[in-house]
A and B are shown apart, each in its own frame.
Chain A
């Protein structure tokens, strides 16, 4: 509760024109916003551009933030999500249709996709394999539809609760749960299908 009040005070300072407060907000939220943009767009460059646009939009509309309606975190996520959806609708970030097998198949490291995904042992090699597995999951995530993708990103990557996700996505809580379930299931199927094709 204290954190919420502290953030609200920070926002109020920022609205009055305090540059230090704005800098603190940027420092506090840029990582989260960048990660949402990165997981949604799938590209580091696009994520950087989108993050900047999100902050510019936030800076311009900060005075419209209502502390009684939602937390600042939810508001920030809503602004980010709306911008991402706008960009997606413009056709800038279309659904990725390239093959999930393309990346592992081209790399001649002697590891099957199953090994890359399931090897979680310690050590440098395992770390490399884990990184490879992360790439594959990231690519699979990009293949999900935007509705399912944003739901699982907010739930499993940003650890938001269903109520806040429902506020951000402007859909009922039941729909949020359904989308999260479908997103997780589809992602698992995509990875399993790729595993079967490779092995």
Chain B
């Protein structure tokens, strides 16, 4: 391929001007030089012919008709709305509700999609399921008295119920009885002289004594059940309980 011929134009220049030449944008001396070159250069002539043919074939391609539901699908996926003229451009004389809806629609458009609706549905279902498992029913909410008196009444009754619940616990009874026993145990200890040595069998006798005292204590009412007994042979426990009894007495 000759790089330059009689026209004075090189092949690379011809190639650079090819696009404009096909578009018909070359004029004057440039056009003359281009035509002269391609007539004398076979390779460039072929190139021009092929490029022109390729352009004509491409130009012959018609526009393809998009699918019928493409716009609908795009709008649904973007703003979550159907391509309805009435939905987008509301008629004149619309009510205040329509105006509010028209203003809020674009704000909530990204959220108002099927995907979000599905998520909200699942969340609602989960919450409802949890409430029903917990024993709460939506219908109960209707019976709720949300006035100030009603709330105060509910508060006081709930508080009383909680106090009753803890008062009636067996554990509370046990602790109370032990504290009472310890008080009794602690009182004669103070009266005793400090020099008196404590025999090893003291816990045993104390136990008996405690038992007797417990029996005496609860013996006042024959029908009252014995709910607790003093600990047997546990010196450490006794000491702890004694300390606790002292504390209780101080606070009393």
Contact = CB atoms under 8 A, between A and B. Distances in A.
Main SS at interface, chain A: helix
A48 B66 contact: yes
Given A18-B106, A187-B54, A188-B53, 11 more contacts: A17-B106, A19-B106, A20-B88, A23-B79, A26-B74, A52-B70, A134-B60, A184-B50, A184-B51, A187-B58, A188-B51
Contacts of B58: 137, 141, 152, 156-157, 184, 187
Contacts of B19: 162, 177, 180-181
Contact of A52 (B73, B81, B89, B109): B73
Given A19-B79, A52-B70, A185-B50, A134 B62 contact: yes
13 contacts: A22-B75, A23-B79, A23-B83, A23-B88, A30-B71, A31-B63, A34-B70, A52-B77, A134-B60, A141-B61, A156-B55, A162-B19, A181-B51
Q: Give chain B's interface residue range (CB within 8 Å of chain A).
A: 35 or more
Main SS at interface, chain B: helix
B50 to A, nearest CB: 4
B41 to A, nearest CB: 15
Given A156-B55, A187-B58, A177 B16 contact: yes
A52 B71 CA distance: 9
B106 A30 contact: no
B86 to A, nearest CB: 11
Q: Which one of B16, B19, B62, B63 has the greatest number of beta carbons of chain A within 10 Å?
A: B19
A23 B67 contact: no
Nearest to A184: B54
Contacts of B31: none
A130 B107 CA distance: 49
Nearest to B87: A19
A130 B60 CA distance: 9
Contacts of A141: 58, 61
Interface in B139-162: none
B25 to A, nearest CB: 10
A59 B78 contact: yes
B106 A55 contact: no
B64 A26 contact: no
Interface in A125-163: 130, 133-134, 137-138, 140-141, 152, 156-157, 162
Interface string B39-73: 00000000101111111011111111011001101
A190 to B, nearest CB: 9
Interface in A56-91: 56, 59
A53 B82 CA distance: 18
B182 interface: no
B50 A138 contact: no
Interface residues of A, number: 48
Given A20-B89, A23-B83, A30 B60 contact: no
Given A20-B89, A181-B15, A181-B19, A188 B57 contact: yes
Contacts of A180: 19
A59 to B, nearest CB: 4
A101 interface: no
Nearest to A159: B59
A27 interface: yes
B57 A137 contact: yes
A56 B77 CA distance: 7
Given A23-B83, A55-B74, A186 B64 contact: no
Interface in B86-106: 88-89, 105-106
A19 B74 contact: no
B179 interface: no
A35 interface: yes
Contacts of B73: 48, 52
Nearest to B82: A23
A44 B70 contact: no
Contacts of A178: 15-16
B19 to A, nearest CB: 4
A58 to B, nearest CB: 8
Contacts of A20: 88-89
A56 B16 CA distance: 39
